[in-house]
Structure 1
Amino acid sequence: MHLPSVFGSVALLAGGAAAHGAVTSYVIAGKDYPGYQGFSPGNSPNVIQRQWRDYNPVTSCSDSMLRCNGGTSASLAATAAPGDTITAIWQQWTHSQGPIIVWMYKCPGAFSSCDGSGSGWFKIDEAGFHGDGTSVFLDTERPSGWDIAKLVGGNKPWSSKIPQNLAPGNYPLTITGSGSAQPDSSYKAAIPGYCNQNDANIKVPINDHSRPQTYKVPGPPVWTGA
């Protein structure tokens, strides 16, 4: 499988992100799946997750590592249906600021020949900042208006639903069923390409307490399957 390491976000079946952390296991449609543990690709068992190089961040919006995080393709594939839940378990996450974005991408053929290129990525979930009048972009876990603060620590889950009526095929995982829906171009983006380094929602001064308590998650809107 080819999944992105998304800038400052959770990435479905990818593992890395633009902060110090990694997904190392999953629960998909009620089934447990071990993930890649990092640092030892030669000794790692076959898993559904693309190998990632280490726990360090991808810091550039134009870095091709943002999409597939380097390494080699996964040798196995999970299977799920529209409406099923995907839970990523973050073994480590350090920072309590930033968006959560969960992406999918339909491969035109087999996983082995799918590199995730082009404007085919679409969001199935996102979360950002919800200020309460006192905590803006504070560089602490608590108080925090950021949803991503829920992942700080170890072995923290983030769950997302596969969109209803999603057409079957090879995505980051194999989607079954008789769905017929696909997002149109207004929901799709390229990775890299969905954000720019100097965008206001990418370069955020997290210790500037005078900033407005608003934040727009980068990229297109979430596609729900409707």
Structure 2
Amino acid sequence: MFLSALAVVSTFLFSQVAAHGGVTSYVIDGVTYAGWQPYNSVDGQTSIERPFSIILSATASTMSCNDNGQAGALQLSATVAAGSQITAKWNQWTHQEGPVTVYLASCGGSCTSANSNSLKWFKIAETGLKSGTVGAGQWGNGDIVSTLSYTATIPAALAAGEYLIRHELLALHQANTPQFYPECAQLIVTGGQGKVPGSEYLVSFPGAYDASDPSININIYLDPAASQTTYKVPGPAVWNGQ
């Protein structure tokens, strides 16, 4: 009885951690798409989002989409016009400190048959330190705490095709122990102007981040970080379609 009860509690705590930083739905052109539910059985789940959990290493093999790189068994994709907005929503988030980033990756065909670890990613949005100091400032993560949502725009010039979109929350509240919460969803982008980002904007996951990166391996409570008023968001520059 005790072991059974302990197993139930452990499962509950893991599910709470897994769901804690996970996107729970997406809104595209007024249509809401359900996200992945890590605390529910995988059997029968259909979503445009891929399965996810929590990552504690900048070089984890699951860094691309927080899974083994593959689509879910009943994977869906959402159609979105280039130039449209997509809003990711969370049901809970408590960490104020850290940046929010949004990436896209062309699947070069069907995303459902693509392994996310082999794709090249480019950043389309980021919100890092907005004001104040690294140790006591206003961050992109603080916006998520307040609104439980983040809206990004698919570049209007982007070439049509199938893409993965990757939302990442990087929590910096624990000294030198970053927590990564990336989730991916599958999109079919229509319209656009046939443009793609240059190689200087493209990165791989894992590979884009390094554990020694001072923006990742950081103690925000000690000088010099605590008194800094600037912060470089990890990863490449944002590509806006130019």
TM-score (norm 2): 0.75
Identify the structure with the greater helix proportion: 2
The aligned residue for residue 195 of structure 1 is: 209
SS state at 2:63 partner:
helix
SS state at 1:213 partner:
coil
Mark the structure with the bigger radius of gyration: 2
Matched, 1:215 2:231: yes
Distance 1:41 1:176 in 2: 33
SS state at 1:67 partner:
coil
How far is the alpha carbon of 1:130 from its aligned partner?
2.4
Paired letter, 1:62? T
Give the root-mean-square deviation of aligned CA atoms: 2.2
SS state at 1:88 partner:
strand
The answer as to whether partners of 2:71 and 2:113 remain within 8 angstroms in 1 is: no
Unaligned runs of 5+ in 1: 1-16, 139-143
Paired letter, 1:194? A
The 1:192/1:19 distance shift into structure 2, 3 A limit, reads: farther
SS state at 1:148 partner:
helix
| Mapping for residues 30-49 of structure 1, pairs under 5 Å | 30-49=30-49
Matched, 1:76 2:76: yes
Unaligned runs of 5+ in 2: 1-16, 165-186
Matched, 1:60 2:57: yes
Instruction: Identify which of 122, 133, 136 aligns with 2:134.
Output: 136
The 1:180/1:22 distance shift into structure 2, 3 A limit, reads: same
Identify the structure with the greater strand proportion: 2
The 1:41/1:137 distance shift into structure 2, 3 A limit, reads: same
The aligned residue for residue 97 of structure 2 is: 97
Distance 1:29 1:146 in 2: 27
92-101 or 167-176, which deviates more:
92-101
The aligned residue for residue 191 of structure 2 is: 177
1:147-186 Cα offsets, whole Å, 9 max, x none, are: 2111126x71100000011101110200011521000100
The 1:199/1:63 distance shift into structure 2, 3 A limit, reads: same
Instruction: Identify which of 121, 139, 146 aligns with 2:139.
Output: 146
Paired letter, 1:170? E
| Mapping for residues 14-33 of structure 1, pairs under 5 Å | 20-33=20-33
Matched, 1:161 2:153: yes
How far is the alpha carbon of 1:70 from its aligned partner?
1.5
The aligned residue for residue 87 of structure 2 is: 87
SS state at 2:45 partner:
coil
How far is the alpha carbon of 1:109 from its aligned partner?
1.8
Q: How many residues align?
A: 199
SS state at 2:91 partner:
strand
The answer as to whether partners of 1:102 and 1:123 remain within 8 angstroms in 2 is: yes
SS state at 1:41 partner:
coil
